[in-house]
Structure 1
Amino acid sequence: MVTKSWLYDVILYIYALSLLFYFSDFIGPNRSAKRMGAGLLSFVWVLQTAYLIYNLVVHNRTAAYSLFETLFMLSWLLVTVSLIVNRFFRIELFVFLVNVIGFAVLALNFFSNPNVSPTLASWKINDELLFIHVSLSIAGYTAFAVAAVFSGMYLFLHRQLKEKKWSKLMQRLPSLDKTDHYAYVSVILGAPLLLLGISLGIVWIALEGDMALFFDPKVINSWFVLLVYIFYLFQRLVLHTPGNKLAMWNLAAFFIMALNVVFANFYSTFHQWS
């Protein structure tokens, strides 16, 4: 059996990357993104299948039906079902949501296994889970920061054009359509990264065994930030809100996210800077 967690980390990161492509395809039909997502998810399925076969061959019947293997089988079945649906139906939202659940189950399975040791000797296994949680969340925050910069550029260009003020700086900036599109793409990347980060945070809390942490202000506010960005996507895709209003909403969402990160040290019981 694999006892080092580095292989599990690789599987989780590949899984997360596949979900980014699936989310992108769900937001706006994109054959290339869907193909990449399906390819990466298929690779995750192959790794899971190889592990299951190895486990059944090498281990006795009791070990094969332990809680670890049961949860692993559940995650494997969720991936299998989503690949079948992806192949024969066009229900991208179903595929994405099912795999968010599968991703969380797989993480819970990996990091709750007492036989798995962390990659770094100085870490505990929960520290490695926390590292992945933080890395995905920070990647999401980075994408949101990029989106905020493009939204600020959009508002600047929009105001200059409205007032018919021309300058050399305007010539060096992308057009309104491009800045709006770049901000939109950044949010598409940031939203699923934050969702996956939150899901791993939930797994970490479950493994810590302190259910009160589910109601920590930082956790609640993180869900609120995610909903704010989802509403941004809803405004763009369903309500067809004008670009200047979307840009202002994007900046407001980033401000809320920044406050959530900065002031976590003052009101969160465990999200604190040391």
Structure 2
Amino acid sequence: MYAVWMARLHEGMILLYAASILLYFLDFLHQNRKANHIAFRFLSIVWALQTVFLWLYVAHTGRFPVLTLSEGLYFYAWVLLSLSLALNRLLRIDFTVFFTNVIGFFVMTVHAFAPEQVASGTGERMVSELLLMHITMAIISYVLFSLSFVFSVLYLLQYKWLKEKKWGHRLWRLQDLPKLEKLAKMMNAIAVPMLLLGLILGLQWAYLKLPGIHWFDPKIVGSFAVLIVYSILLYAGESRRIFGKKLAYWNTAAFLIVLINFFLITGLSDFHLYF
């Protein structure tokens, strides 16, 4: 009965998510403020349902839900939606929620159709606060990289409209270019040290729990590749060696490395459950 109820809850969330994105797209095309308000309400309901499900899952399993691919995807989608709604209220940047939750909807859909995984008995025994901190910090850093990607996409759209002198309603609803660039860099500035700390905790946990670990495991290499690329971008942006349109392009391209590391390299790892 519990499984059936949870399945219905997921279906309802995905339908509301899809309806919200369609309404945001309608607003993006035709400046339909009513559609925007309804879409925001739908997303708020989705967030409430996700939060309820998260707490029910914790109560049902008795642990923090980040140990499998399915759980990790769900937690990522929840954090992404939470931050996008908060940023929308605090910064009032139109279209941020729309672009951010296209990513969130994709992740929720992957989560819905991902094969169910159960943490093994060995995995349960190896769980510690160190591992949970590693996984949680890594997921949050990926969410921040996602938001940085969204701000860079908005920067490129704003730049294109300005260059083509398209003085339409969409142009006036975005922040100015320096503000979008600053927000993208700020997300990276928080995410890079958070990912570094998460990786340090993960390596420490692996050293203690997995003495036979292969340190050149594809997932370890991929995670450090993400860290190095974004560290270089962060340094280049802060030192003004790269800025403006060029920085936005590089930041957008860097997000592809995040996606590759999350979805493709994971399957090549010998020991990672998913992260």
TM class, shorter-chain normalised? 0.5 to 0.7
The separation in 2 between residues aligned to 1:179 and 1:256, in whole angstroms, is: 22
The separation in 1 between residues aligned to 2:197 and 2:212, in whole angstroms, is: 19
2:132 paired residue number: 131
1:152 paired residue number: 153
CA contact (8 A) 2:126 2:209 kept: no
The separation in 2 between residues aligned to 1:211 and 1:158, in whole angstroms, is: 51
The separation in 2 between residues aligned to 1:125 and 1:257, in whole angstroms, is: 26
Q: Relative to 1, partners in 2 of residues 1:230 and 1:265: Cα closer, same or farther, differing over 3 Å? A: closer
2:164 paired residue number: 163
Computing the radius of gyration from Cα coordinates, the structure with the larger value is: 1
TM-score norm. by structure 1 comes to 0.53
5+ unaligned residues in a row in structure 2: which ranges? 1-122
5+ unaligned residues in a row in structure 1: which ranges? 1-121
CA contact (8 A) 1:134 1:197 kept: yes
The separation in 2 between residues aligned to 1:212 and 1:164, in whole angstroms, is: 56
The separation in 2 between residues aligned to 1:273 and 1:175, in whole angstroms, is: 38
2:90 paired residue number: none
TM-score norm. by structure 2 comes to 0.52
Aligned length: 153
CA shift, 1:236, in A, is: 1.3
2:57 paired residue number: none
- Percent of pairs with identical residues: 37
Q: Relative to 1, partners in 2 of residues 1:265 and 1:229: Cα closer, same or farther, differing over 3 Å? A: closer
Q: Relative to 1, partners in 2 of residues 1:218 and 1:125: Cα closer, same or farther, differing over 3 Å? A: closer
The separation in 1 between residues aligned to 2:171 and 2:272, in whole angstroms, is: 41
CA contact (8 A) 1:205 1:214 kept: no
**Counterparts in 2 of 1:1-274, with a 5 A limit?**
124=125, 126-273=127-274
Secondary structure in structure 2 of the residue aligned to 1:241: coil
Deviation string 1:66-87 (CA, Å, 9 cap, x unpaired) is xxxxxxxxxxxxxxxxxxxxxx
The separation in 2 between residues aligned to 1:212 and 1:132, in whole angstroms, is: 20
The separation in 1 between residues aligned to 2:212 and 2:158, in whole angstroms, is: 48
More moved, 232-241 vs 189-198: 232-241
CA contact (8 A) 2:219 2:266 kept: no
The separation in 1 between residues aligned to 2:175 and 2:181, in whole angstroms, is: 10
